Amino acid sequence: LKIRTIKELLKAELLAGEKAIDLDILFACGSDLMSDVLTFVKEQTVLLTGLTNSQVVRTAELLDVSAIVFVRGKKPTDDILKMATDRDIAILTTQYTLFDACGILYQGGLRGGAGGGNG
Amino acid sequence: MLAEYSTREVCEEALAAVMDDYGTVIRRCYNVESWNFTAAGEAASDIKKVLKQLGINASLLRRVAIAAYEAEMNLVIHSVGGRLEMSVDTKKIVMVAEDQGPGIENIDKAMQEGYSTAPDTARELGFGAGMGLSNIKRCTDRFEISSKVGEGTHLEMHFNLEKR
């Protein structure tokens, strides 16, 4: 799925990182625990989370995650958005809950991508 | 005793690329402040940038970046402050994370997944799940940890540049 499609599926708003919008995404991960994200996330992954601090962008940067979706309408602060823009990471915000947003993307064809099926 | 460097600044002498028998060696070191969550991740981010410029392949780059970030977060969350150092030669990448305390009481326990002594503040930021050290070990080709309560912890992470 392209990030553009993810945006449409989740009726999401793009807050930063427009440059990344046509990148292909193969996997998704829904978690508020960056510790967990760091143990299994692969490249070409979209990260869905309710956490809006700078460590989320940092984690995405180090893992080459090219899109972050903040759930339940959460919006990070401007400095975090700037951080994402500087790193070409797309930031989306959706009204859906983490569970629903993950469900919609699963239906759209994305999978967890981890060996054990977690994600 | 190694000299103190100003926060996040790359040591001048370490920047110098040295030619020796093994080829070009690059060294970088970073001071990591205790409890500074704004800066947390900057060292790992810079390490990733440097290695990317060296043309390190994507999967190795990921492993090093993850280990660097976990080690840096450990310094931020658990230590009174410390340093993260990276050096590269033609055969390997070596990272060392070192702090001045408080030290780990039981290393076996600390290595267990899910075991954590992190305070709630760290958890609120998405860290402190007790996955850090085991994740670092998983990412490395060689991993060594030693620690003494009251003195500090020393972490050594090796990554072979040849295929795993």
A50-71 average pLDDT score: 96
Percent of chain B with pLDDT over 90: 74
Confidence (pLDDT) at A7: 98
Averaged confidence pLDDT in chain B: 87
Confidence (pLDDT) at B11: 46
- In this structure, what token pair is assigned to residue B42? 């900057």
Confidence (pLDDT) at B22: 52
CB pair distance less than 8 Å for B40 and A58: yes
Which residues of chain A have a CB within 8 Å of the CB of B126?
Answer: 32-35, 37, 49, 51, 53, 55-56, 59
Interface test with B, best of A55, A83, A88 (most B CBs within 10 A): A55
B2-40: pLDDT as tens digits: 444 444 444 444 444 444 445 567 899 999 999 999 999
Q: How many interface pairs between A and B have CB atoms less than 8 angstroms apart?
A: 67
Residue whose C-alpha is closest to residue B151's, from B100, B117, B105 = B100
Residue whose C-alpha is closest to residue B91's, from B46, B25, B144, B28 = B25
Q: Answer yes or no: is pLDDT of A88 > 80.
A: yes
CA distance A98 to B90: 45
Confidence (pLDDT) at B92: 94
B135-145 average pLDDT score: 96
Cα nearest neighbour of A58 on chain B: B41
Q: Answer yes or no: is pLDDT of A62 > 70.
A: yes
The answer, for B35 touching chain A at a CB cutoff of 8 Å, is no
Give the confidence band of A101 by pLDDT, cuts at 50, 70, 90.
very high
Which alpha helices (H) appear in chain B, and where do they start and end? 12-15, 42-53, 58-78, 107-111, 120-124, 132-139
What interface predicted TM-score (ipTM) does this complex get?
0.89
Closest CA of chain A from B69, distance in Å: 8
CA distance B76 to B78: 6
B71-95: pLDDT as tens digits: 999 999 999 999 999 999 889 999 9
